[in-house]
A and B are shown apart, each in its own frame.
Chain A
Amino acid sequence: MAKVLIVDDEELISCNLAAYLEDEGLEVDVANSAEDALRKVETGLRVQVCIMDMRLPDMNGDEACQALHRKDPEIRFLLHTGSPNYAISPELGAIGIMPEHLYRKPIRDMAKLAASVRALCAGR
């Protein structure tokens, strides 16, 4: 089963995304900070797709994605941000993150997000 890691400091966001994705039959884990996420990966959590909030208390989402990528280059990312003006940085572009991987809060229909997760899991 595909493993999804949701990184967000807003617990209600993670829990809602997790609920939806679980209902979609995906296996979901949650981290509430970048450090938390990195520790999980370091201690052996196998993640296929990471849904990353771009503003975290300990590190910004940009750096967190790069750090996770260094730990495990197989992880694919979806970005989740509350800042409407956010644009994908060249560094994240370099690790394969494209504009279609960017989700702006509030997500009106999580079905699209679920479809993106499946596509990334399928290597698309």
Chain B
Amino acid sequence: MQRVRFWSVDPRVREIVNNVADAVIAIDARGNIELFNPVAERLFGYASEEVMGHNIKLLAAPDYSRHHDEYIARYLETDDPHIIGTGREVEGRRKDGTVFPIYLSVGEVKVAEFHGFIGIIHDLTEQKEAEKLLLNARTYLQDIIDSIPSILVGVDQKGIITHWNHFAAAERDMDIREGVGQPLVKLFPFLEAQLGDISHAIRERHPVRKERLPLQNGGSSRVIDLAVYPLSSAEGLGGVVRIDDVTERVRIEEMMVQTEKMMSVGGLAAGMAHEINNPLGIIAQSCQNLVRRLSDDIPKNREVANNVGLDLGAMRRYMTERGLSQFIAGMQEATERAALIVTEMLAYSRRGTSSFVPTPLSELVETVLHLASHDYDVKKNYDFRRITIERDYDTRSDLISCEALAIEQVLLNVLKNAAQAMAGNPHQTCPTITLRLRDEEQWLRLEVIDNGPGMSAEVRHRLFEPFFTTKPVGMGTGLGLAVAYFIVTEQHHGRLEVESTPGMGSKFTLRLPRHEEY
């Protein structure tokens, strides 16, 4: 037996081979197994006798096995060492057919008439498992930070990005692999002004939080919360920058504050009305009685006047001369006005969905435009007919369940507001109101866009507040838009919002909920 002869030459060699910690397998030039040590037996699950003389392909994974003959042939023909003298990761196959990762290093053996190869095989199963676990852990961590709906960016002390999450990459419209290695401010220029604070936080290892930072980003304004957390365990210094876009939240909060204000006024109005109407009644009726009891039409008046020696005719002349009659008329008129304000406030703070009927919004718009064009008011100095109306309607249906008269009131108030605003801008030579109607998931949206003077942020924030007016005393009650807001939000569960840029005009957006398909 050739193999026995060769490997039995020196028992010391056999002893070494049998006791190394890795699997040792020798093959002859045809690839037949000549030597199979105990570790190899354990690793592959074959007894030595089972594999002796069999081709080494028996132990290789199918892919590798298929080409093994070629590898040996190529080497013998070309002398290209390829794997010989080095090693690489391949896959082995156990007796039970399972495939497992190994590190194989191959050496050539030429002794006397024997020419073959010796392979040392290290089991990589555990190492691969560990690598896999590590990779899983990394993927898991990345998944976690990617699932956080904030922009998260890891930076070193120089402000170079070392890591970032999905939201951060999406913000820049980049692939998640692209950002690493770039300067933070290059990808997030709006952080330029915050860079001092960021590096301070990292250097001093002291977290920094800044809330509601307003950003001007081109035409749109955003509000962000910024937090910088220093990383204490990192090699060298570093930190995590977290950015949350809170624009929407801030806007909703503003709306809620406003709604709350409205609600309290609405609640107050009902109780107040009763309390005010009583004294108003007293004033109104006292005036009426005063006038009546000063006249000589009533016999009782004449009788009492006579008893006390009063000349009623002289009395009336005196009242006219000294303006007393006018004072009384003034009181009556003022009472009427006060009563009207109470009625208006109440009419629109009342709740209820009494007469909700599906109505085409565009028809309501037309009714109101017709009304408005006849509402030329010299005192208010605007003429609706001077304004160009552009209609931009694109909806599958503009039928909306609403209280038609109330929504007409809303549209009229919003349109009058736009017309009055534009009248206050004499430089605008072609005042235009664009009416844009659109579908929006569960809403029907109407935008009323004017090219008037616009308004400041301060005015915009107070716009829907009851009694807030920018007009001179006596020109407006300050209730028009508050009433519109009430009707839309309280009665119709819709939304009324305003956007404006001073000098550019204003946009009122009305959203009414679609309750069903028509």
CA distance A94 to B183 in the complex (A): 82
Choose one: A23, A83, A85, A106; the contact of B284 (CB below 8 Å): A106
Q: Which of B121-129, B288-296, B381-389, B468-476 contacts A (4 or more CB under 8 A)?
A: B288-296
The answer to whether A108 has its CB under 8 Å from any CB of chain B is yes
Mask for B274-289, Cβ within 8 A of A = 1, else 0? 1111101111111011
B284–A108 touching, CB < 8 Å? yes
Known: A20-B285, A108-B284. A82 touches B277 (CB 8 A): yes
B300 at the interface (CB under 8 A from A): yes
B301, closest chain A residue (CB): A23
A110 at the interface (CB under 8 A from B): yes
**Which of A10-18, A40-48, A68-76 forms contacts with chain B?**
A10-18
**A106 engages B283 (CB within 8 Å):** yes
Interface status of A101 (Cβ within 8 A of chain B): no
Across the interface, which residues of B come within 8 angstroms of A55, CB to CB? Answer: 274
Q: Which of B274, B281, B298 has the most CB of A within 10 A?
A: B281
Shortest B227–chain A CB gap in Å is 50
Residues of B336-357 at the interface with A, using a CB-CB cut-off of 8 Å, are 336, 339, 342-343, 346-347, 350
Complex interface: chain A residues within 8 A of B342 (CB): 84
Q: Decide if the interface of chain B is mainly helix, strand, loop or mixed.
A: helix
Q: Across the interface, do A23 and B278 meet the contact criterion of CB distance under 8 Å? A: no
Interface size on B, residues (CB 8 A): 28
**Interchain CA distance A83-B288 in the complex, whole Å:** 22
Q: How far is the CA of A16 from the CA of B285 in the complex (A)?
A: 6
Chain B nearest Cβ from A25, distance in angstroms:
9
Q: A105 to B281, Cβ gap below 8 A?
A: yes
CA distance A83 to B335 in the complex (A): 16
Q: Which residue of A lies closest to B276 (CB)?
A: A82
- Residue-wise, chain B 254-273 has the 8 Å CB interface mask toward A (1 for contact) of 00000000000000001001
Bound-state Cα–Cα, A91 to B45, Å? 98
Contact B335 A106 (CB under 8 A): yes
Inter-chain contacts of B286 with A (CB < 8 A): 12, 16
**A59 sits at the interface (CB 8 A):** no
Q: In the complex, are the beta carbons of B273 and A84 less than 8 A apart? A: yes
A104 to B284 CA separation, bound complex (whole angstroms): 13
Complex contacts, A81 vs chain B, CB 8 Å: 274
In the complex, the answer to whether B336 meets A108 with C-beta atoms within 8 Å is yes
Interfacial chain A residues near B288, Cβ < 8 Å:
16, 20, 109-110
Q: Is A115 an interface residue (CB 8 A)?
A: no
A17-B292 Cα distance, complex, nearest whole Å: 13
Query: In the complex, A12 Cα to B281 Cα: how many Å?
Result: 9
Cβ proximity bits B354-384 to A, threshold 8 Å, 1 near / 0 not: 0000000000000000000000000000000
Indicate if the CB atoms of B277 and A84 lie closer than 8 Å: yes
Contact between chains at A16 and B346 (CB < 8 Å): no
Given the interface contacts A16-B285, A107-B285, does A84 sit within 8 Å of B343 by beta carbon?
yes
- Given the interface pairs A20-B288, A20-B292, A106-B335, the reply to whether A82 lies near B281 with Cβ below 8 Å is yes
Complex CA distance for A10 and B284, rounded to whole angstroms? 14
Q: Tell me the minimal C-beta distance from B487 to chain A in angstroms.
A: 16
Nearest CB in chain A to that of B338: its residue: A106
Whether B277 lies near A23 (C-beta < 8 A) is no
Known: A84-B342, A107-B284. A16 touches B277 (CB 8 A): no
Q: Chain A: which residue is nearest B350 at the CB level?
A: A85
| Cα of A20 to Cα of B290 in the assembled complex, Å | 10
Within 8 A of B (CB), among A38-93: 55, 81-85
Determine how close the nearest CB of chain A comes to the CB of B127; give it in whole angstroms: 81
Known: A82-B277, A106-B283, A107-B281. A23 touches B300 (CB 8 A): yes
User: Chain A residues near B270 (CB, 8 Å)?
Assistant: 83, 85
Q: Which residues on B sit within 8 Å (CB–CB) of A107?
A: 281, 284-285
Q: Nearest Cβ in chain A — how far from B266, in angstroms? A: 12
A27 to chain B, nearest CB (A): 14
Which of B274, B280, B283, B289 contacts A83 (CB under 8 A)?
B274
Q: Which of A19, A23, A106 lies at the interface centre, i.e. has the most chain B CB atoms within 10 A of its CB?
A: A106
The smallest C-beta distance from A6 to any residue of chain B, in angstroms, reads 12
Shortest CB distance B420–A (Å): 28
| Contact with A10, one of B273, B276, B278, B343 (Cβ below 8 angstroms) | B278
Question: How many angstroms from the CA of A85 to the CA of B273 in the assembled complex?
Answer: 10
Is there an interface contact between B281 and A106, defined as CB atoms closer than 8 Å?
A: yes
With A19-B289, A20-B288, A23-B300 in contact, do A105 and B280 touch (Cβ < 8 Å)?
yes
A99-124: which have CB < 8 Å to B? 104-110
Report chain A residues within 8 Å CB of B284: 106-108
Chain B residue nearest to A16 in the complex (CB): B285
Q: Which residue of A lies closest to B280 (CB)?
A: A106
Instruction: Collect the chain A residues with CB atoms within 8 Å of residue B285's CB.
Output: 13, 16-17, 20, 106-107, 110
Q: Report the Cα distance A104→B335, complex, angstroms.
A: 14
What are 26 A-B residue pairs whose CB atoms fall within 8 Å in the complex? A10-B281, A13-B285, A16-B281, A16-B285, A16-B286, A16-B288, A17-B285, A20-B288, A20-B289, A23-B292, A23-B293, A55-B274, A82-B273, A82-B278, A83-B270, A83-B277, A84-B343, A84-B347, A85-B270, A105-B277, A105-B278, A106-B281, A107-B281, A108-B284, A108-B336, A110-B285
Given contact pairs A19-B289, A23-B298, A107-B284, enumerate 19 new A-B contacts (beta carbons under 8 Å).
Answer: A10-B282, A12-B282, A12-B286, A13-B281, A20-B285, A82-B273, A82-B274, A82-B276, A82-B277, A83-B270, A84-B342, A84-B347, A85-B270, A85-B346, A106-B281, A106-B283, A107-B281, A107-B285, A110-B288
